[in-house]
Amino acid sequence: MLDIQNIRNDFPILGREVYGRPLVYLDNAATTQKPRCVVDVMTEEYLNVNANVHRGVHYLSQQATDLMEAARETVRRFINARSTTEIVFTRGTTESINLVASSFGQAFLSEGDEIIITEMEHHSNIVPWQLLQSRIPVKLRVCPITDEGILDTSALPGLFNSRTRLVAVTAVSNVLGTANPIKEIIAAAHAHNVPVLVDAAQAAPHQAIDVQALDCDFLAFSGHKVYGPTGIGVLYGKEALLEQMPPYMGGGEMIGKVSFEHTTWNVLPYKFEAGTPDYVAVTGLARALEYVNAIGMPAIQAYEHDLTQYALEQLRQIPDMRIFGHSRQGASPVEAGEGCGIGSSVISFLVGNIHHLDMGTLLDRLGIAVRTGHHCAEPLMHRLGIEGTVRASFALYNTREEVDALVAGIRRVATMF
């Protein structure tokens, strides 16, 4: 059982007020708040260890390098990668996917090849492939969703053919909260000798990830969605694939030797880490993952599932409430991960004809922070036949009392229209 009040004390921002009201922060799918320990470890490094990493012979540089490589090992353990050579630090999920689109695309794709994505993807798993299309005329094939917001896996086999080169799929929808059957999708793709990239931005904060058990070929997630700093993320890639891919960017650190005639590349993972990395944010990310592990992902998962179910029950009692996704009620997060179901603490909704922006703005005046709009998933909004939604998303520090405040706030706003 989580000691929620003790956990909340680790996040100073949760004690502040907005417009004279206690902050109710329900925008965690966009970014999570940071525990004091993450801020403290970053401050400590800036004040006492700050020096550029790798290649430096002096003490501070070596100490900073040790911290960065220790953090890489922490990430490796967090997703159970085989080796730290498979852990590449990026600026976030978006850059990780762009890296794969650019480097994997250059190495393995040619005109007429195809990439399978889904109808529920974030723009970050759509636009990089479209940018690739401007360089290599490849085709995107889209796996549809059902009217209930579940991936139509029955359509997946028909999307594969001899030109399929990659499947790129979100583990959990940032709009619907739907957890996709990733292991099943990977097995289907591998049966066609097709690698799979998993967008785990919305999965990493809420469920344990084991890349070896999944057998995914690439996996990406962002630090700021797992209680870590912004501007830091992870790309996991199987070593054999990363070895065959050219560098994403050129410059310092990613080189072996440079002459005006020829340049060779550094070994993995540094081949993909050009320039001075945000080594302090790397340390902050590692501390955030340690914080999550200390609480325990199973306990977090169970608590958030219970909180989301409570929120769904309360929200459904509001007249004219429309909730998008969450068609399989009662499924545990673990069950959802094996099939299709609720996999994250995200609830997207509309109330009657109230515009999502109006609802979000008025809730904000009540101290309740939610997200409004298309959530960087415009094609999904078109499929749902709407312009946008209000999205409430929960984290391990949210409470039933905050859910009650959200429900009361929605009811109050509804009386104004």
Query: What are the residue numbers of the active site?
Result: 376
CA angle 361, 364, 369 (to 5 degrees): 115
Q: Directed axis angle between helix 59-79 and helix 279-295, to 10°?
A: 40
Q: State the pairing for strand pair 255-258/17-18.
A: unpaired
Torsion of CA 345, 326, 120, 395, to 10 degrees: 0
CA atoms of 384 and 150, how far apart (whole Å):
12
| DSSP-assigned states of every residue in 288-320 | HHHHHHHH-HHHHHHHHHHHHHHHHHHHTTSTT
For the four alpha carbons of 120, 122, 125 and 129, in that order, the dihedral sign comes to: positive
CA atoms of 233 and 75, how far apart (whole Å):
10
Instruction: Tokens for 28, please give them.
Output: 């965690």
CA atoms of 138 and 116, how far apart (whole Å):
11
Cα separations in angstroms, 34 against 27, 78, 93, 147, 283? 13, 18, 18, 36, 13
* DSSP one-letter code for 27: B
Any residues with CB less than 8 A from the CB of 49 and at least 6 apart, and which? 60, 63, 64, 67
Instruction: Tokens for 194, please give them.
Output: 């097709």
Residue 399 buriedness (CB in 10 A; 0-12 / 13-18 / 19+): middle
Instruction: Tokens for 410, please give them.
Output: 């929605």
CA atoms of 29 and 27, how far apart (whole Å):
6
Residue type, 397: Y
Determine the number of helices (DSSP H) and then strands (DSSP E) in the chain. 14, 19
Token pair 């498979």 in the structure block, residue: 86
